[in-house]
Structure 1
Amino acid sequence: MTTKIIFGSNKLGNIRNEQLQATLVKFKLGTLLSAKKTEQGAMGQTMFIISTKGEFVFKGNPLYKGQLEEEKYFIEQLRQRTEVPVPIPYLIDDSTDIFGWKYALMPLLKGKHLTDSTLQHTMNTKDKCSIAQSIADALFAFHQWKVEDFGELDTHTLKITPFKTGYYQWLFDRILFWLEDARKYSKVTHDDLQWTKNLLEDSKEAFQRITSPTFVMGDFKPGNFLVQQKESSWSISGVFDFTNSFFGDPVSDLVKMLTYYLDNNEKVVAKHLVDAYFDKLTNKVDSITRLKVHMLHQKVLDWGNAKATKTVTWYDELPFYHWAGEYTQAMEDLFR
């Protein structure tokens, strides 16, 4: 389920304080003091809860059957395998008597989002590079969880279901499918399709040479992690939201943060991130080639979503291959 594109969510709807109190009673977590919905949760599934026993995150109304169980599995595995802070214990109420659907409670992790306004006004380039270093370290730690098969987690058996066509074919087909889908909402020309197919074909051998798939968070972005400053350096103080996690090419986890840095004119920080991560790798050439494809994948999704929802009007007249090409070329430029 984690590799499917989800465009909407069930959202929490109206939650009453007495319902939240009932959840706290179930897990012996004290008396409710306050609650509010989170600002960062794009899917509208989360709330902050403060009780006499502490601060928690409430997550409910699952997007699909097994979402909470799957996330709990990933979090518990990462807690055992890495030192990266994750929200544990991850408590699930299997009954539906309070809300009509399952929910989970987890501790609220300390720290601030990278996009926090106070951080943005006080951080200098050295601070931002320190955070980029900690991102590289956290992702590399995640990627030490190596498996035998490319695929996604079966939410019933908690075992990996391999991609039927193989990893690179699954990825290539996915990119072409969503580019074709974007034709419903925007102009996608023969040149756009040919440019995309050429880039995929040129990278095929690099993907075929991947010998060890790893855990991939799938959605490592500013809204899904927290940072803290300790003396003169920064560290990741929490990572959460593993709804999009699967087992594939680890370098794909860099794409959303590189996009964030490039879109905010922070090329120095973006370069620090790739240098910090790629210095740990042995086969850099193949990884750079694959990184371009993962950036293309993200740009196809971004283009289709933006055109379908009409939420942005950037580059109305610019061809897709030109717009996306600026990002894929930027991947090469960061290594010069």
Structure 2
Amino acid sequence: MDSRTKNRLSDDVIAALVAEHFDGARVTALTELDGGMFNAIYRIACTAFARDIVLKVGVGPGVPLLTYERDIMRAEVACYRLLHERTDVPAPTVLAYDFGRTLIDADCFFMTALDGEPLSKAKSRMSPENLTQVKRRLAQYLARMHTVTNDYYGYPTDDPSRRYATWRDAFLGMFDRLLADAREHRVRLPYHDIARVLERHAGLLDGVAHPALVDFDCHDGNVFVRRNATGWRIEGILDFERMFWGDPLADLPPTFVFRKDIRDEPDFLAAFLDAGGRQVFTRDDDRRFQLYRLYLAVIMAAETFRYGRLYGAAQRAWAVMQVRSCLRRIEA
């Protein structure tokens, strides 16, 4: 997938980065990975490691971004560290990072490579029983992520004004900035209807007890699976750059982007609720799900300015359709 945000590097620059961070190591093989839609990503074999590593390169200077996307690579690196320190969720290990921008004009980091393949590609070859097992395990891993907590709500930040004491204030602030971004990029949305729904249903956000680590990008393309003698299993979860501190239910819409009702994934939902010590998915839970699905749909509409004309138009049309669907379901 091509995007204006991808900051591609030459082979020589990548070789210099590897040598700088791994004691003069030499690159022996190099491939750009094309699955992502935001960062340039490279799979590398080098003399410093017996297994391949991955280089992820941040956005270069002067490229327009949505407000929440600024410095998100730093949040991702911190998230990997938290997951390894506080959970058993399988994820790559960060090997080195450079936020000083001394060799290149962007943040970057190296991590261990996963050897499996995305669930999005593998699931068509799974038996229904195996796919159900994988979905239930994914639900359990998400619930374990949500045990990692923080002392404020919102996106990771050093700005005290954006460290919120309540999830209601955080989510409304996040949404306000996103809508401002959408307006700046001239995305046609039902802004008045969105504002009315947020005002009428903001009280649903008051029941969130603590700021949990929310991945908010755990779709099938970011879940890697491997096959063994007994079937497919989850090898690792990656791409935590869009994480924030908030309501665990917010992780459900990105995990099933094309689901309008999470109850259409009963095995996943049952495992998710059970891991969180709950048994019932209530009407208010569904409305919160729709609010987070609405937020995701607006993101998907607002970010299309950086894609090619045809792809951008197609995603924007689909996302706006989802916005209207969410508004109807919340108000139903």
TM-score by length of 1: 0.75
1:57 aligns with 54
Q: 1:124 matched to which residue of 2?
A: 127
What's the CA shift string for 1:85-113, capped at 9, x where partnerless? 22214312466554354532111023211
Indicate which of 111, 116, 128 corresponds to 2:116. 111
Partner of residue 147, structure 1: 150
Decide whether aligned partners of structure 1 residues 29 and 278 sit closer, same or farther in structure 2, where only a CA change above 3 A counts.
farther
* 2:168 match: 168
Deviations 1:275-296 (A, max 9, x none): 2212334374343331111011
| Alignment pair present for 1:35 and 2:41 | no
Give the aligned partner of residue 81 of structure 2. Answer: 76
3-state SS of paired residue (1:244):
coil
Unaligned runs of 5+ in 2: 61-68
Amino acid at match of 1:167: W
- Per the alignment, residue 91 of structure 1 pairs with 96
Change (3 A) 1:280 1:27: same
Query: Structure 2: which amino acid aligns with 1:55?
Result: D
Q: Distance in 1 between matches of 2:174 and 2:217?
A: 17
Equivalent residues in 2 for 1:1-336, closer than 5 Å:
9=5, 11-17=6-12, 19-20=14-15, 23-24=18-19, 26-28=21-23, 30-52=25-47, 53=49, 54-62=51-59, 67-93=72-98, 96=101, 98-116=103-121, 119-154=122-157, 162-163=163-164, 166-172=166-172, 174-175=174-175, 178=178, 181=182, 185=186, 188=189, 193-194=192-193, 196-197=194-195, 199-260=197-258, 262=259, 270-281=265-276, 282=278, 284-285=281-282, 286-305=284-303, 311-313=312-314, 323-326=322-325
Which sits farther off after the overlay, 197-206 or 127-136?
A: 197-206
Aligned mates of 1:121, 1:65 — CA distance in 2: 36
Paired residues, what number?
A: 313
**Quick one: distance in 2 between partners of 1:137 and 1:43?**
27
Partner in structure 2 of residue 3 of structure 1: none
TM-score for the superposition, normalised by structure 2: 0.76
Q: Does the C-alpha gap of structure 1 residues 51 and 152 become closer, same or farther in structure 2, counting only changes over 3 Å?
A: same
Instruction: Give the 3 Å change call, closer, same or farther, for CA 248–143 of structure 1 in structure 2.
Output: same
Distance 1:88 1:187, change over 3 A: closer
Shift of 1:153: 2.3
In structure 2, what is the Cα distance between the partners aligned to 1:160 and 1:27?
39
CA drift at 1:57? 0.3
Contact 1:163–1:170 (Cα < 8 Å) also in 2: yes
Over aligned residues, Cα RMSD in angstroms? 4.0
Q: Alpha-carbon deviation of 1:122?
A: 1.6
Deviation at residue 252 of structure 1 after TM alignment: 0.8
CA shift in 2, pair 1:13/1:148, >3 Å:
closer
For 2:234 and 2:98, locate their aligned partners in 1 and report how far apart those are by CA, in whole Å. 29
1:121-168 deviations in whole A, cap 9, x for unaligned?
422333332221122111101001123321332369xx995138x432
- Percent identity over the alignment? 16
Q: For each residue in 1:164-194, what CA deviation from the matched residue of structure 2 results, as whole angstroms up to 9, or x when unmatched?
A: 8x432442354466557469756545xx733
**Equivalent position amino acid for 1:46 in 2:** I
Residue type of the alignment partner of 2:35: Q
* Distance verdict in 2 for CA 1:327–1:13, change over 3 Å: same
Q: Which amino acid aligns with 1:171?
A: F
For the Cα contact (< 8 Å) 1:111–1:226, is it kept in 2? yes
Looking at structure 1, the residues matched to 4 and 275 of structure 2 have their Cα atoms a distance apart, in angstroms, of: 37
Q: Is the 8 A contact 1:152 1:163 kept in 2?
A: no
The separation in 1 between residues aligned to 2:74 and 2:304, in whole angstroms, is 31
Letter matched to residue 209 of structure 1: G
